[in-house]
Amino acid sequence: METLSYLAPLAQLDVLWTIALGTLGGLIIGALPGLTATMGVALLIPMTFGMAPVMGLNMLIGIYIGGIYGGCVSSILLRTPGTPASAATVLDGYPMAQKGHAGKALGMATIASTIGGLIAAVVLATLAPQLAGIALEFGAPEYFALALFGLTIIASLSGDILKGAISGLLGILISCVGADPISGISRFTFGIQGFASGFAFTPALIGLFALSEVFTQIERLASKEPPVTLVKNRWPSWADMKESRSALIRGSFIGTLIGIIPGTGSGTASWIAYNEARRSSKTPEKFGTGHMPGIAATESANNAVCAAALIPLLALGVPGDVVTAVLMGGLMIQGLAPGPMLFQTNPDVVVGIFGGTFIATIFMFIFGMALIPVFSKILMVPRRMLTISIVLFCFIGSFSINLNPVDLYTMVGFGVLGWGMQKFGFSQAALCIALILGPMLEANLRRGLLQAGDNLTEFLSGPITLLFLALTVLSLGWPMVAKALARKSNARPEITE
C-alpha cells in the first residue's frame, strides 16, 4: 500500500506533462543524427535543478527512452543512425523504407521499442536488487569473453566470410588509433592532437552509413529511378507480428541482460539481438533485405537496455551505460546518492523512477505512432534535395558532438571508406561491430593480464567467462556442425522425423 502511495506524485498533471515533454524532446533529439540521448540528458540536467526529484529525474529518463527510440527514425528513413544504438536497425529498416514500407518499418520499430522497454521496466521494478548482482560479476576476463562472443556476429552477418573477416579486422585496427587503454601512450595519431582519443564513434558511424549512402545515391542520380512510392499503412499486420514474435522476445531479454552489465550499452545489445534473431530464424537469408524481425530484434533490444541500465544504477550506484552515468550526476545534484541505501532512504524516488519508466515508455509509443506519417513524409522530398540535406546533417551532426573539426575529417574519411566497402561487397556492419567491441576486447585483455601477472589461464576460469567462450565456439562452429548433420540426414532419410 505504501508503495502505491509513492506512485501518487506521478498522477499529477505537471509531472505527466514534464515526462511527456521529455519523451517528445528525446524522440526529436534521437531522430536528429549527431544529437545523442547522452547529450540530451546532459544538457537538460540544469533544468532539473529546481524540480522535485521524481519530476526532474523522470524528465531525464523520458529523454533517454525517447532518444534511444528516436534513433530508429533516421536509421530507417535516411540510413543515418540517429544514435549509435540504432546502427543495427539500418540493416533491415532502410531496405524496407526503400520498398515503400517506411510506415510499417517505423510502426514495427515503435512497437518493438515499446515491448522491449516494458519488459525491461517490469524486470527493473520487480527484480532490480536480485539481478543487479550480475553487474558486479564482470571483471576483465568476463568482459573479454563477452566481447569475443560479440565479434562472432561478424562471421554470421557477412555473406562472404573472408570479406567479413577483413572488414572486422580493419575495424579493430581502426579502433587502435588514439590513447592506449593501459599505458596512455598515443598510438597511430600522426601527431594530430584531435585524434588523441581515437576516431570519434558517432561521426565515424554517420560517415560509414549515411555519407557512404549519399555517394551511392549520387552515382544513381544519373540513372532515372522511380521514386519511392509510400505505402500509407503504419501498423504491422498480424502475420508480421507473428513472424517477429520470437525476435521481439529474444531482443527484449537480450537487451535487458546486456543493459545490466555496466559499460556495454545499447549498441552491443542491438547487434547481438539482431544476430540471435537471424540465427534462430527459419529464413535467415531474408535478413538485411528489409525483413521485419530484424527491426523487431534491434529496437526491442536497444530500448530494453534503457530500463535495464537503471538496474545497477539504482541498486548498486553503478551506471550501466554512458547515459545512466550522466543520470547519476542528475541524481547527485538532487542530493540523492544512488546505491543500495537509496531503496531504504528514498523509496519514494525509487518507486517514482520505476513508475516514470513505464509512463515514459507509453508516451514514447503514443508519440512515435502519431508522428510516423509526419516522419515518412521526408521520403517525399525530391531525391536531390534530400541528398543535399543529408550531407548537411552529416556535417552538423558530426561537428556538434565534440565541436572538434577533426571529427569532420573522420566523418568524410569513413564516408569514402563505407562507400568503397559497399561497392566491393565488404560488410559495413562488420566494421561497425568491430569498432564497438574492439576497444572493449583489447582493454580488458590487457587489464586482465596486468591484474593476473600475465597469466592467461585467468581467461579460462570463472563460470561467466567459460559460458561466453563456449557460446563463442558454438557460434563459430554451429554452422559447420549443422551442415554436417544435414548431410548425414540427407544420406539416411529414414532417420529424419
Residues that bind other proteins (CB under 8 A): 35, 38-39, 41-43, 45-46, 49, 135-140, 179-186, 193-194, 196-197, 200, 262-263, 312, 316-319, 325-326, 328-329, 332-335, 337-341, 400, 402-404, 439, 443, 447, 450-451
Nearer to other proteins by Cβ, of 41 and 77: the residue is 41
The CA distance from 357 to 273, in Å, is 22
Instruction: Write down the H helix ranges in 206-321.
Output: 212-221, 238-260, 265-280, 292-316
Output the smallest distance, CB 367 to other proteins, in A: 20
Measured in degrees and rounded to the nearest 5, phi and psi for residue 28 equal: -70, -45
Cα distance from N-terminal residue to C-terminal residue, the chain: 55
Nearer to other proteins by Cβ, of 344 and 496: the residue is 344
Query: At 187, is the secondary structure helix, strand, or coil?
Result: strand
| 3-state SS record for 346-402 | CHHHHHHHHHHHHHHHHHHHHHHHHHHHHHHHHHHCCHHHHHHHHHHHHHHHHHHHH
Nearer to other proteins by Cβ, of 107 and 319: the residue is 319
Nearer to other proteins by Cβ, of 137 and 160: the residue is 137
- Is residue 150 within 8 A of residue 429, CB to CB? The reply is no
Residue 225 CA to chain centroid, in angstroms? 33
Long-range contact pairs involving 176-185 (C-beta distance under 8 Å, separation at least 24): 176/438, 176/442, 181/439, 181/442, 181/443, 181/446, 181/447, 182/443, 182/446, 182/447, 182/450
Joined grid coordinates for residue 292:
521485419
Output the smallest distance, CB 391 to other proteins, in A: 18
Nearer to other proteins by Cβ, of 26 and 93: the residue is 26
Measured in degrees and rounded to the nearest 5, phi and psi for residue 282 equal: -80, -20
- Is residue 64 within 8 A of residue 323, CB to CB? The reply is yes
Nearer to other proteins by Cβ, of 41 and 292: the residue is 41
Output the smallest distance, CB 311 to other proteins, in A: 13
Output the smallest distance, CB 447 to other proteins, in A: 6
- Is residue 307 within 8 A of residue 259, CB to CB? The reply is yes
Output the smallest distance, CB 56 to other proteins, in A: 13
The CA distance from 382 to 344, in Å, is 58
Joined grid coordinates for residue 196:
588523441
Nearer to other proteins by Cβ, of 246 and 404: the residue is 404
Nearer to other proteins by Cβ, of 147 and 248: the residue is 147
Output the smallest distance, CB 186 to other proteins, in A: 5
Nearer to other proteins by Cβ, of 167 and 334: the residue is 334
Nearer to other proteins by Cβ, of 405 and 425: the residue is 405
Joined grid coordinates for residue 307:
530500463
Nearer to other proteins by Cβ, of 137 and 285: the residue is 137
Beta bridge partners of 186: 179
Output the smallest distance, CB 196 to other proteins, in A: 3
Output the smallest distance, CB 316 to other proteins, in A: 6
Output the smallest distance, CB 38 to other proteins, in A: 7
Output the smallest distance, CB 35 to other proteins, in A: 6
Output the smallest distance, CB 23 to other proteins, in A: 19
Nearer to other proteins by Cβ, of 137 and 225: the residue is 137
- Is residue 478 within 8 A of residue 156, CB to CB? The reply is no
Torsion on CA atoms 282, 168, 260, 306, rounded to nearest 10: -80
Output the smallest distance, CB 206 to other proteins, in A: 15
The CA distance from 114 to 304, in Å, is 9
Kind plus residue range of the DSSP H or E element containing 237: none
Helices 347-376 and 53-78 pack at an angle, to 10 degrees, of 30
Query: At 341, is the secondary structure helix, strand, or coil?
Result: coil
